Chain A
Amino acid sequence: MKQALWGQVIKVKSILKREYEIPANDFALAGEASSNVRKILTQLGVNPVIIKRTSIAMYEAELNAVIHGNGGKALVEIFEDKIQILIYDEGPGIEDIELAMVEGYSTAPDSIREMGFGAGMGLSNIKKNADEFLLESEINKGTKVYITIALF
């Protein structure tokens, strides 16, 4: 599936490519990558409904990297017909992906919950808003979230 998603990258040239650092536990910068992508899509005149879906999906993955993944990176590629986002970290990884996907499941500590995170809805928000969504994770290696959204 990963091959199918990203194999196309080599063949089709993207219009725009961006890379973002996602610092760990820095809530002054958390969401900046998503916010920047939203700005770019707005400038490109993308349909507002699609911009919102992209923003929500990317924000949730970005914040998971900030909160659970010890920070990471985002790679964003915009094509004529779609946007592809990869958010990856080299954090602790997810032991049971199926369980992590269950709404309400969260390992967020109290200090994070006090800010309003930890509903355990982030991953399902990504799934609901993405046209393609793939979560890969390995314990002590890290987590990769692939998001593809069709632009029309």
Chain B
Amino acid sequence: MTVKEFALHNGYKILSCVDRAEELEITGVYICDLLSMAMAKIDDGELWITVHTNLNIIAIASLTNASCIVIPEGIEVEENTINKAQEKEVVIVQASDRSYDICINFYRQKSGVTYD
């Protein structure tokens, strides 16, 4: 599933690099708000959920080859962070859901489970 498919299906908003969102496949999910832990652990293609919206998240996502950053709970993202994401070709997705539900939604969509 691509980042765009995931975002569209769940009503999440793509804040940067919509064109890239169409190409990038999500391979899994990683959740952590400690930047150096995320740096160590994010595997290529993973969707990274963090509540941080500062500029530094862009380098983390870019250097680890994350497929996108997902900001949960409708948290607003600063304009300078979005600009940097655009510059570094990092996709930021803003989700209204909590981290747990974002994971559940990913799992359901991936495995085709439709019950509610």
Q: Closest chain A residue to B59 by CB distance? A: A31
Interface-facing stretch out of A2-10, A11-19, A71-79, A112-120: A112-120
Q: Interface size of A by Cβ–Cβ distance < 8 Å? A: 23
Contact of A116 among B33, B44, B88 (CB under 8 A): B33
B86 at the interface (CB under 8 A from A): no
Q: Report which B residues bind A (CB closer than 8 A).
A: 33-40, 44, 50, 52, 54-59, 62-65, 80, 84, 88
Majority-rule SS of B interface residues: helix
Contacts of A115 in B (CB 8 A): 35, 52, 54, 56
Q: Are A121 and B36 in contact (CB under 8 A)?
A: yes
Cα of A48 to Cα of B43 in the assembled complex, Å: 12
* Total CB contacts across the A-B interface at under 8 A: 70
Cα of A59 to Cα of B61 in the assembled complex, Å: 12
- A30-60 to B contact mask, C-beta < 8 Å, 1/0: 1100110010000000001000100110011
Cα of A28 to Cα of B63 in the assembled complex, Å: 16
Contact of A128 among B37, B40, B55, B80 (CB under 8 A): B40
Shortest Cβ gap from B69 to chain A (Å): 12
